[in-house]
Amino acid sequence: MSGYLSRPSESRPPHASRARLPLLRLALALAFASGTLGAQTGPDTNYTFSRVMITARDGVKLNTVFFVPKHATGPLPILFVRTPYGVPGPNFPVSKAYAELHEDGYIFAMQDIRGKYESEGTFVMQRPPRPIDAGGGRAIDESTDAYDSIDWLTKHIPNNNGRVGMMGVSYPGWTAAMGMLDPHPALKAVSPQASPSDMWIGDDFHHNGAFRLSYGFEYAYMVENAKGGSQFEFEDYDTYSWYLKLGALGNIQKNYLKDKHLPTWDDFQQHPNYDAFWQRQAMKPYLTRVTVPTLNVAGWWDQEDFYGPVTIYRELEKHDAANRNFLVVGPWRHGGWRGGPGDKLGNIGFGAPTGEYFRKNIEAPFFAYYLKDKGTLKQPEATVFESGGGEGQWRTFSAWPPKEAVTKSLYFHANGELSFAPPTDAANANDAYVSDPAHPVPYRHRPIEPTYYPKGSGWYTWLLEDQRFVDDRADVLTYKTPVLDEDVVVAGDIAAKLFVSTTGQDADFVVKLIDVYPENYAPDFKLGGWELMVANDVMRARFRDSREYPTPLVPGQVTPVNIDLHTQSYRFRKGHRIMVQVQSSWFPIIDRNPQTWVANIFEAKDSDYQAETHRVWRTASAPSRVEIATVKP
């Protein structure tokens, strides 16, 4: 949920240091790393800067800044960002940060959400929307704060045309989506980008109930540490070692936080299941009343919030009678479309400047049409970048997932074979491995720096790392197709359908769909044999039947476990192979499963963590497989 759009300047008031400076610096680092922001020693000469305190309906004042173009020839619309990461000061380079939108002409407004930085009130992490029938007119949430702010902006900023658009990446994307729930009449277009949607099912803090340990702990500490928000100081450079030596999950509170209570960490400990706490935060139930044109944006390799924007799009689509709900997905990391050309991510190239294309040909025309009556909107329902083999192309569809897609299954077979043919093996056909919590599978190459390590971290591109680093582990099962004799084009949903058994009572199952490059890869010999993750996720098996009421596995009993691997647009090219890996730890991005039964893993003892044998079955009656939606090459 790292901040991206609200990039603060160095001219913050001195007392801002008590706020969350690491995230400020993170936002700046991302902006400069993207190549869109250069050094700037003074105000952007194209804009006039103003700062105001806008009073919300309950009397709380919200710190707001806005940049008005100096040479506008007529009334302009307002683009509005609401952020928990700190608004910029007068030296913010608007014309560089929003180059394509700057060319069209907008007033840019940014606001500290309540309880953050210069805004009054109490901050609540992802404050749940208020009940629709809340009485008295004083109930507040991010939607009412957006409404009250838009009302002030349109009435007090000179020469605005009475139309407002909201946008933002990550948490600011979420606040943009919140602004749509009960929108101000002036709100005419919204683009929630990389917005989380459900922090328990698939976004920052959990995936299918499996706790995202390193990210969850480090983020909570960074934004809620009473000392001013400094990053947690690890005793080991390799955080894999630190988290492993930590032992049981509860030792974080016992040995490190001690009497300090971080609100979000307390929430993690007290709400391990999908209870009312997480359900109130989830966006899905509230998306039935949105009437604003929406441009949803996601990145295929978003390391923080991929589930969210796709889910928001799908929920809005159920009620989109006016056909004004759009989806764009490109080959990006979290927020990667906001700056730079977008032609490469990590070591993987895409053969096209995808970020530039999005900003110029999709985002700018969207806002220009709805806020300025400029042009004719030609935005397709779904615009996705189809990657694969170091190349790619933009494709458009009338729906996502595409209605024409056909589901095919990649079945597991003996000797690590993967095939579109179903198994015919006897009843005892399975592959076994021992999962030992004392030796968990790392989720990326070691050493694993802290998530937001200021001198550089592999966090931002870990989803594209070569998976050969786990090929030789006995606790990772690998299945591969023969070399493909024609392209296989994925366009739509991907799901793993496993049949498993265990000697324990609980287990995690991680499934990765992988593109294996040819050993002699002519375009770039350094990518020879590269194993690129195309889709992946984890399921905590205790939640296989119910998210609210977990149940243990029965030792020795063959049990179906289904894992949503989300969605993709990807071309497995002729000459490549398709691979599937299955494992039961992914450390420390996912906390270790004790594999014995404990009601709340945060309360597990060190002795509860036990090695267990897991089996993945591949018989005619229990055909473990990965299902992919495909279209014709």
> Which residues sit opposite 174 in a β-bridge?
none
Q: Which residues contact 155 (CB under 8 A, 6 or more apart)?
A: none
- Of 537, 461, 531, 532, nearest to 494 (Cα)? 537
Distance CA 164, CA 80 (A): 7
Instruction: Report how far apart, in Å, the C-alpha atoms of 222 and of each of 5, 102, 263, 606 are.
Output: 19, 33, 12, 26
Q: Give the H/E segment covering residue 30.
A: helix 21-33
Q: Quote the pTM value.
A: 0.93
pLDDT-flagged residues of the chain (< 50): 3-38, 226-228
Per-residue pLDDT at 131: 77
Distance CA 559, CA 338 (A): 44
The domains of the chain, with CATH numbers, are 14-197+283-397 (3.40.50.1820), 206-279 (1.10.3020.10), 406-631 (2.60.120.260)
- Of 211, 307, 227, nearest to 262 (Cα)? 227
CA 71 to chain centre: 38
Token output for 5: 């759009």
Q: Which stretches of 201-317 are DSSP H helices?
A: 213-224, 239-246, 251, 263-270, 276-281, 307-317
Sign of the C-alpha dihedral computed for residues 280, 283, 284 and 285 taken in this order: positive
Per-residue pLDDT at 23: 42
Per-residue pLDDT at 19: 34
Distance CA 98, CA 364 (A): 10
Per-residue pLDDT at 42: 85
Token output for 472: 């030789």
On the question of a cis peptide bond just before residue 588, with omega within 30 degrees of 0, the verdict is: yes
Q: Are strands 160-169 and 107-112 parallel, antiparallel or unpaired?
A: unpaired
Sign of the C-alpha dihedral computed for residues 406, 407, 413 and 416 taken in this order: positive
Distance CA 294, CA 292 (A): 6
**In the block, residue with structure tokens 């901050």:** 123
Distance CA 112, CA 31 (A): 19
Q: Give the H/E segment covering residue 151.
A: helix 142-156
